[in-house]
Amino acid sequence: MKILSIGIVLFALTFCGLGERLRQVGSSNSNGTTSNSTTRSTGDDSDAEKPSLTSAQQAIQDSATEVKWPEQGISWKLPAGWPKMNVMKESFNYGSPADGFLIASISTMPDSFPSDISIKATYDSALELLKQGKYEKVRWLDLDGVTGVEWVEAPPETKDGIRRHQWIGFRKYQGQNQQVNIILSTNGDKFEKQEDAFAAILYSMKIPKG
């Protein structure tokens, strides 16, 4: 649970400038300056890649077991040895210090919330962190028909620092406008060993819409 708490705090700090970016983009739109880079259709973006698994990642998926989040209809394929920690309506936690953690959360937004602008601001913030060397990979990624932002953090300064593989997207589900946030994490000195497993888990995700 200590890793989970640290992860949540660091995630909040990482995106502390997101609100300002949303205000800037919103101001631009109110002045009539719109473009494909600031107005986009979530889940239908031509720039989004689809997962492409390596042979090692595919082997992990093939031997994994499907685990469902009944409250949200979402599922993943998890390798053997990933125990259940805590599953609630808006949070889903599996894993252990030995293998890493799958931390999923749902944030329900008002219908008026500008999801397209928010996800674009998330992407822009991630690109800035990529330029600063804090991330080593950033891209638009389509997971089961939902376009979101995927990134992988650079190695932490200390071997026991937390390192994450993360994806954020938006979906409409049961009449709600939801932000879906998926984090796979472990200590920095264990990350490379679990890198293929993290990718296999994330790319196995099924996300119902509508």
List, in order of start, the domains of the chain with CATH numbers.
2-203 (3.40.1000.10)
Distance (Å, rounded) from C-alpha 9 to C-alpha 157?
Answer: 17
> Is 9 buried (19+), middle (13-18) or exposed (0-12) by CB count in 10 A?
exposed
Between the alpha carbon of residue 162 and those of residues 33, 49, 141, 166, 201, the distances in Å are 40, 26, 23, 12, 18
Banded model confidence at residue 46, pLDDT cuts 50, 70, 90: low
Distance (Å, rounded) from C-alpha 39 to C-alpha 35?
Answer: 6
The predicted structure's pLDDT at residue 103: 98
Residue 43 above 80 pLDDT?
Answer: no
Which long-range contacts link 7-15 to residues 24+ away (Cβ below 8 Å)?
Answer: 7/101, 7/103, 7/162, 7/164, 7/183, 7/185, 10/162, 11/166, 11/181, 11/183, 14/125, 14/129, 15/122, 15/125
Per-residue buried b or exposed e for 76-99, using 16+ beta carbons within 10 Å of the residue's own CB: bbbbeebeebebeeebbbbbeeeb
Residue 30 above 90 pLDDT?
Answer: no
Task: Kindly state the tokens that stand for 45.
Answer: 């973006």
Task: Kindly state the tokens that stand for 23.
Answer: 């205000």
Banded model confidence at residue 27, pLDDT cuts 50, 70, 90: very low
The predicted structure's pLDDT at residue 94: 98
Q: What is the mean pLDDT of the segment spanning 47-75?
A: 97
